[in-house]
Structure 1
Amino acid sequence: MLEQKLQQKLLQRLSPQQIQLIKMLEIPIMELEQRIKKELEENPALEEGAEEEEIVNLADDDDNDYDNDEEDNPSDDDLFNNQEKEEVNSSKDDDFSYEDYISEEDQDETPYYLLQANNNSKDNDEREFIFSSQESFIDNLNHQLGFLDLDKKQRTIAEYIIGNIDEKGYLQRDIEQISDDLAFNLNINAEPKEIEAILKKIQTLDPPGIGARNITECFLIQLNRKPQSNAVKNAIKIVEKAFEELMKKHFDKIQRKLNIDKEELKAAISEIQSLSINPGNTYSDTYETAINQVIPDFLVEIEDGEIKVFLNSKYSPELRVSKSFQEMLNSLEAQAKINKKAKNDKEAIQFARQKVDAAHWFIDAIKQRQNTLLTTMQAIVNLQKDFFTEGDKSLLKPMILKDVADLTGFDISTISRVASNKYVSTPYGVFSLKSFFSESMTTDSDEEISTYKIKERIQHLIANEDKSNPLTDEELAELLKKEGLNVARRTIAKYREQLSIPVARLRKEL
């Protein structure tokens, strides 16, 4: 049975402004710069620059200092003040100015140095990024086609094949599919055998291995272009007949299958290891493989043994509400009080007031973001003071998000957002904020150590292991247990994967 009733609930909902503020905490400095530029374009009430009151106060301070200096140290020019005032007054009555004495030809010949201005401070870190211009990977292959003996039809087919080669250098479509594409798109009838023959010619181009359809074919193309020594011939046999065993590093099976001894196998594997898995990467586009430069959000400096933390404000300009826009709003509101029936004025006032309120909110949000980031970074520096003083990663203490949250008074989710995609520049290099967080583990002597030290110890053990018989995860756990570190095998595997270290079988060498 349906019935109507009233029900009262208390719900917590985030306003759109709060959601925007949360998102602003997560973004790094370069994305914040884009966010500010977008807001400046969309909101006419927002503009770059310090607040008017700050500028006025700075100017007043300079004037006061100048006046005080004059009172304390009167100059000889004060004796002629009256005479100068009379000359200034008389000059105002003249009908001629300095520009009247300069001809138009003289004005046109303004020295070049007077047309330039350098407004950069010495503290600004000005860097020029020079991008070289070079031929693209696909254009280079098409250019090499000119050295092949191809007719017009074959050249068109070759260009279509090259267009289907990815940035790694592999052909991504089957021969039959290319044949269908040529028939439907270019009205060219080409048999798969004809396309295969053209593909073989493309595979003779540089870099070696280009146009392969899989890694086996890529290796064979490169090996066949090398001088055919015994090691190269054995390498070709391994790729053709025992490639699966090679990937699993079952060297004994390869020796039995190809009837070769250990030294021959070692020489052949050395030839295979010299090959390129992705031949296209040897010829990369300048703009596609541009260097990802890390811009730090924080700057940590040490002055007289004191650690100082700064925000990187180079990409975050000061913002203010436009004075002219505010005056226009005040004028519209004053006119609206006189003429209350003007509908257009009310809409204009509502629009202008929304823009001014949005500008105030955005400025406050930027300031709140800066305060939150600076407070969080200061807490991290206080907790990891030994590292920031010495620069030794082994001095990193166990630290989790809750430790920083307790010190700052912020929520754990806020600390997580601040640490996300943020970097800090220190005298010892640039580090990710997340690299300072690690869990703790208790040793047999009841000492708490960071998991970073355990990872460092695992790296050391693997680096010094016998490569012909590498250490398994169980053996690593036993070695760490002897050192007083009770680490489970699964934890060893997790840390090893985080360090991008393969399993023992794949680390095996002859």
Structure 2
Amino acid sequence: MKPSLVLKMGQQLTMTPQLQQAIRLLQLSTLDLQQEIQEALDSNPMLEREEDGDDFDNSDPMAEGTETVASETAPKQESYDEPTPAAENLEDGDWGERIPNELPVDTAWEDIYQTSASSLPSNDDDEWDFTSRTSAGVSLQSHLLWQLNLSPMSDTDRLIGETLIDCINDQGYLEESLEEILDSFDPELEIELDEIEVVLHRIQQFEPSGVGARDLRECLLLQLRQPAQPTPWLEQARYLIENHLEVLASRDYSLLMRRMKIKEDELRQVIELIQSLNPRPGSQIETSEPEYVVPDVIVRKHNERWLVELNQDAIPRLRVNAQYAGFVKRADSSADNTFMRNQLQEARWFIKSLLSRNETLMKVATQIVEHQKGFLEYGDEAMKPLVLHDIAEAVGMHESTISRVTTQKYMHTPRGIYELKYFFSSHVSTSEGGECSSTAIRAIIKKLVAAENQKKPLSDSKIAGLLEAQGIQVARRTVAKYRESLGIAPSSERKRLI
């Protein structure tokens, strides 16, 4: 068979740059999309943000002449010649006074001149909290080093303290033994084991209480060492932790009552005091920055109907800059005109991709609300089974598109803010031939555990039996999986004294 040239005609799907951009914008979260929009505004002069009060053109951004339709609102020129009210105050008020050549010793600027900081709440204001106005977290090590620097000690002890703090993990426990820490020092320093232990005792007095402990027993005892106020059952709690902590972990309360020679009500109060302690004191220090969730869709009920609308405050509206678009000449092929023409086309593509994203998100959210009206009315127990295929068929899109549009997108409902993927769940067959959502089963398990007898908590087999009595056929291992996903401990660890 000799080679030959053959001409064929066929069709194939090609991922154009415009389609790739639309898909990429579709799967971005609101915060990521805001950053993407800001980068587009910084790089493309043809794009501008619509400010409040501006006349916005709702015509098709891909249509020809878009740049001339909105050209009637040209950018405003700001004048800096007229004096502002602040400048007038500077001329007439105390700020216009000259700074004296010499000031009294220990004089602060605020003692003589007004500052913008005077508008801030004073330190005497009980409602003002500095930590609530700071977004950056503080690590446990930096918090301990700050306290160490405030403690009077020698240079050698400070070096030992810094080494000990480096060996404390995020939970607040000392990971290395004192012997290993001693071996890490230079022998020429002539540091002894007793010195390290003394410095460790100093660190164990720092906040948070219980930090620097070598095990759980020592951590709990440190927190009971210096209570802020007289505490009943303090001695009994110390005795229990020192001698019978393993028995308490096994929840053998009858053995504890015999060994400590106390009654059940007294043991319950001792255990309540121990449970008020923090076994992980380092977790009190917030080390990560707070993460904020901005809902993409808002759902509300009006006149017995559920309304779905996009969160317009989360995504800024864009348009083509009319003044710059008017500079583009159709017949000009110069480099500058070609650059502006390309930027104009990219701006149109970007705006169309944003409109397509909003339309797709609106369609998917509307169908989710249509399927999950029971959840909005009655809660998790009324959640219906829902998979991506159901929404894909309803809106006429592929399942991959539905997966992208529901990733990191949030819906604000009267019951709270939920990720769109929360409304999707598998189903379990019922005895009547129907289906029950796994989310509804989790809600029922949580309700059963909350109402159980704490002296005799429900086992997984018992919960499975109670679900079967309601017509829900669930195996014991499935109940255990749902229970673990809810963060509910096994029955042996939920046993309590009433």
* TM-score using structure 2 length: 0.72
Q: Deviations over 1:318-340 (max 9, x none)?
A: 22334454455537x6154xxxx
Residues 391 and 428 of structure 1 are in contact (CA less than 8 Å); yes or no, is this contact kept in structure 2? no
- The structural deviation recorded for 1:164 is 5.1
- Where in structure 2 are the equivalents of 1:488-507 lying within 5 Å? 488-507=475-494
- The structural deviation recorded for 1:366 is 0.9
Q: Which amino acid aligns with 1:369?
A: R
Partner of 1:374: 362
Q: Deviations over 1:216-235 (max 9, x none)?
A: 33122223335999954554
1:302 match: secondary structure: strand
Q: Distance in 1 between matches of 2:70 and 2:24?
A: 34
Partner of 2:431: 444
Residues 48 and 321 of structure 2 are in contact (CA less than 8 Å); yes or no, is this contact kept in structure 1? yes
- The structural deviation recorded for 1:161 is 3.3
Q: Distance in 1 between matches of 2:82 and 2:366?
A: 57
Q: Distance in 2 between matches of 1:471 and 1:387?
A: 27
Q: Distance in 1 between matches of 2:24 and 2:456?
A: 50
Match of 1:411 among 393, 398, 423: 398
Change in 2 beyond 3 A, CA 1:12/1:242: farther
Q: Deviations over 1:355-391 (max 9, x none)?
A: 3333222212111111100011111122223444x35
- Where in structure 2 are the equivalents of 1:215-364 lying within 5 Å? 215-226=216-227, 231-240=233-242, 242-251=244-253, 263=264, 265-282=267-284, 284=285, 288=287, 291-330=290-329, 334=332, 336=334, 345=335, 351-364=339-352
Q: Distance in 2 between matches of 1:229 and 1:335?
A: 86
Q: Distance in 2 between matches of 1:450 and 1:108?
A: 67
Indicate the larger mover: 227-236 or 376-385: 227-236
Q: Deviations over 1:445-464 (max 9, x none)?
A: 33433333322322232222
Match of 2:418 among 416, 426, 431: 431
Q: Distance in 2 between matches of 1:251 and 1:4?
A: 89
Q: Distance in 2 between matches of 1:169 and 1:413?
A: 44
Partner of 1:210: 211
Q: Distance in 1 between matches of 2:167 and 2:435?
A: 56
Q: Which amino acid aligns with 2:420?
A: L
1:330 match: secondary structure: coil
Change in 2 beyond 3 A, CA 1:382/1:138: same
Partner of 1:420: 407
Residues 405 and 415 of structure 1 are in contact (CA less than 8 Å); yes or no, is this contact kept in structure 2? yes
- Where in structure 2 are the equivalents of 1:92-111 lying within 5 Å? none
- Taking every aligned residue pair, what percent have the same amino acid on both sides? 33
2:133 match: secondary structure: coil
Change in 2 beyond 3 A, CA 1:329/1:191: farther
Partner of 2:28: 27
Q: Distance in 1 between matches of 2:148 and 2:27?
A: 49
Q: Distance in 2 between matches of 1:470 and 1:242?
A: 23
Change in 2 beyond 3 A, CA 1:165/1:4: farther
Indicate the structure with greater helix content: 1
Q: Distance in 1 between matches of 2:356 and 2:456?
A: 56
- The structural deviation recorded for 1:407 is 0.8
Q: Distance in 1 between matches of 2:69 and 2:150?
A: 73
Indicate the larger mover: 434-443 or 319-328: 319-328
CA RMSD of aligned residues (A): 4.2
Residues 179 and 189 of structure 1 are in contact (CA less than 8 Å); yes or no, is this contact kept in structure 2? no
Q: Distance in 1 between matches of 2:397 and 2:170?
A: 46
Number of paired residues? Answer: 431
Q: Distance in 2 between matches of 1:398 and 1:355?
A: 46
Q: Distance in 2 between matches of 1:110 and 1:44?
A: 30
Q: Distance in 2 between matches of 1:10 and 1:181?
A: 70
Change in 2 beyond 3 A, CA 1:509/1:437: same
Q: Deviations over 1:163-197 (max 9, x none)?
A: 5545543345554565566549xx95533432222
2:329 match: secondary structure: helix
- Where in structure 2 are the equivalents of 1:178-217 lying within 5 Å? 178-179=181-182, 183=186, 190-217=191-218
Q: Which amino acid aligns with 1:271?
A: L
Partner of 1:487: 474
Q: Which amino acid aligns with 1:277?
A: P
* TM-score using structure 1 length: 0.70
Q: Distance in 2 between matches of 1:112 and 1:275?
A: 54
Q: Deviations over 1:124-143 (max 9, x none)?
A: xxxxx994369966666456
Indicate the larger mover: 303-312 or 289-298: 289-298
Where in structure 2 are there 5+ consecutive unaligned residues? 51-55, 60-65, 73-80, 90-128
